[in-house]
Amino acid sequence: MATFGNLSDRLAETFKNLRTKGKLSAADVDGTVREIRRALLDADVALEVVKDFTGKVRERALGDEVSKALNPAQQVVQIVNDELITILGGQQRRLEFAKKPPTIIMLAGLQGAGKTTLAGKLAKWLAKDGHTPLLVAADLQRPNAVTQLEVVAKQAGVAVYAPEPGNGVGDPVKVARDGVKYALQKVHDVVIVDTAGRLGVDAELMKQAANIRKAIDPDEVLFVIDAMIGQDAVATAKAFQDGVDFTGVVLTKLDGDARGGAALSVASLTGRPIMFASTGEGLDDFEPFHPDRMAGRILDLGDILTLIEQAQGAFDEDEARKVAEKFATDTFTLDDFLGQMQQLRNMGSIKKMMSMLPGAGAMKAQLENFDEREIVRTEAIIQSMTKLERTTPKLLNGSRRLRIARGSGSSVTEVNQLVQRFEQAAKMMKTVARGGMPNIPGMGPIPGAGYGGKPKQVAKKKGSKSGNPAKRAAENAAIASGVKSTGESVKADAVGSGFGLGSGAQPGKGKAGGPTEEEMAALQKMLGR
């Protein structure tokens, strides 16, 4: 989460110094709390929230739960995590739908906070869940706001009600009221009303927003706030709370590089929960806000649950089962590889997904240097191949690879690297599909891990291991003729000569274990006689 990147780095550095201590003194706790206070203030968290937060952390850190803990540093991290969850709102708050449709959702906030785009994101998210949302263009003040909402609605694949052209023309209260009636007629179960904003809080803005709320009696009023707004976030939130009395908060532009800590103060100071977060410019860059998951991201503890939910939304379960079967039967092709990459790209930004992993802060430089377009280039290389080449990569000789490189605008080296990565990935996944543990390059074999299926029985090379040349020749000759090895004969006969040949048997008489005339001739030849 770029917005809280600096705060995450500062907190991680603070906790890193704690981990070297087996026991924490009062001075250690005070030093840690002081660093946390500085980090929060630098991130624009409101002073009132910082005082309350650090006071609770210090009180708990000096208590028995840390002094008696086996790992005091981890216990302090847990305390900070708990208190962060508290100031972010505690439990997740979901949308409350009306018992009798339509559910009316009103959006309020300053101009530039991203209300219009957010209306499309929310509508698309609701449509995925089986709802039939209607967007109502009640922002008739900002130039081209109505046109923008119509474009966003088309991109989201939802209906829009826009009877007025906007640009200062029309009555927003009447449009909002008529929009609800239109939703009833067209059987839309959710109405999202986009209202006007201002560059700053003023009486006219609050009066219009209050009149719209009174006219439509919304089930939810969402206050949309820019996470990059700074310390003014708290004052703006309180003004809207007094003027409109919103029921929830939506944070936008969380992918920005501002400090963004003021957004952490809104839930704590207004008593209203953060319900959604906008994490990018795309209509799919939108997610329900989970205080515990956001706290985990800030403290670099990861957000595996959100990552899993995104994967479940992007990947087809039946398709995944078919691919697993192909891995197990060694029929995985470059076409399947291409399909998997396209599904991965549907999940969104690779950088964003990687940042949800625990300890991603330590990979910050690598994540920054990662080029998202690498997947597009890989797709281009595979799509430049013929159907036969995708199913049978062994056909890719030098001339074919040169043609593919030219067709995809890449080099032969890049084509070679792709084929090599595909073969390694297929080999690793085949091992996993058979219940084994892959041998990850650079890590060596994992102790105690199986490598898929039963190990192949390596046939021992038949032949004598004797150090005596004459004995070895005789035993090898016996093996070649299909007779028991002389070693076994010795055990059976219990006696033998110094060369290991069986006693009591005369050459050529055919007794088991006894050498034949041919064997003796071979022995004589070897001895040079």
For residues 144 and 176, membership in a common domain is answered with: yes
For residues 278 and 392, membership in a common domain is answered with: no
Q: Rounded to two decimals, what is the model's pTM? A: 0.61
For residues 383 and 243, membership in a common domain is answered with: no
510 is in an annotated binding site: no
For residues 278 and 414, membership in a common domain is answered with: no
Q: What is the pLDDT of residue 60?
A: 86
C-alpha to C-alpha distance for 104 and 101, rounded to whole angstroms: 8
Confirm whether 164 is domain-assigned.
yes
413 is in an annotated binding site: no
Confirm whether 83 is domain-assigned.
yes
DSSP structure string for 275-297 = EEEE-SSSTT-EEE--HHHHHHH
Domain end point (choices 382, 407, 433): 433
DSSP β-ladder status, 133-137 and 190-194: parallel
The residues, ordered by sequence, that sit 6+ positions from 50 with a Cβ below 8 Å of its Cβ are 37, 40, 41
Confirm whether 98 is domain-assigned.
no
Please say whether the beta carbons of 193 and 212 come within 8 A: yes
For residues 275 and 138, membership in a common domain is answered with: yes
Residue in the block written with tokens 């599904």 = 343
252 is in an annotated binding site: yes
243 is in an annotated binding site: no
Looking at the DSSP bridge assignments, the partners of residue 222 are 107, 248
Domain end point (choices 394, 417, 433): 433
Residue numbers of the domain that contains 153? 103-289
Helix (H, G, I), strand (E, B) or coil at 101: coil
115 is in an annotated binding site: yes
C-alpha to C-alpha distance for 447 and 467, rounded to whole angstroms: 36
Task: State the CATH number of the domain containing residue 421.
Answer: 1.10.260.30
Please write the tens of the pLDDT for every residue from 211-238: 999 999 999 999 998 877 767 777 888 8
Q: What is the pLDDT of residue 442?
A: 47
Confirm whether 364 is domain-assigned.
no
Please write the tens of the pLDDT for every residue from 351-401: 666 665 655 555 555 556 666 677 788 889 999 999 888 888 888 898 999
For residues 325 and 285, membership in a common domain is answered with: no
195 is in an annotated binding site: yes
524 is in an annotated binding site: no
For residues 64 and 112, membership in a common domain is answered with: no
Q: What is the pLDDT of residue 481?
A: 59
Confirm whether 501 is domain-assigned.
no
Q: What is the pLDDT of residue 146?
A: 93
For residues 72 and 153, membership in a common domain is answered with: no
For residues 71 and 113, membership in a common domain is answered with: no
C-alpha to C-alpha distance for 424 and 453, rounded to whole angstroms: 18
391 is in an annotated binding site: no
Domain end point (choices 382, 398, 433): 433
194 is in an annotated binding site: yes
Please say whether the beta carbons of 362 and 447 come within 8 A: no
For residues 276 and 137, membership in a common domain is answered with: yes
197 is in an annotated binding site: yes
For residues 260 and 409, membership in a common domain is answered with: no
The 10 Å Cβ neighbour count of residue 230 is 15
For residues 108 and 246, membership in a common domain is answered with: yes
Confirm whether 506 is domain-assigned.
no
Q: What is the pLDDT of residue 251?
A: 87
List the chain residues with pLDDT less than 70: 1-6, 19-22, 65-70, 230, 256-260, 262-263, 300-330, 344-372, 430, 432-470, 477-529
Task: State the CATH number of the domain containing residue 58.
Answer: 1.20.120.140
111 is in an annotated binding site: yes
DSSP structure string for 318-344 = HHHHHHHHHHHTT---HHHHHHHHHHH
Say how many domains are in the chain.
Answer: 3
114 is in an annotated binding site: yes
254 is in an annotated binding site: yes
Confirm whether 294 is domain-assigned.
no
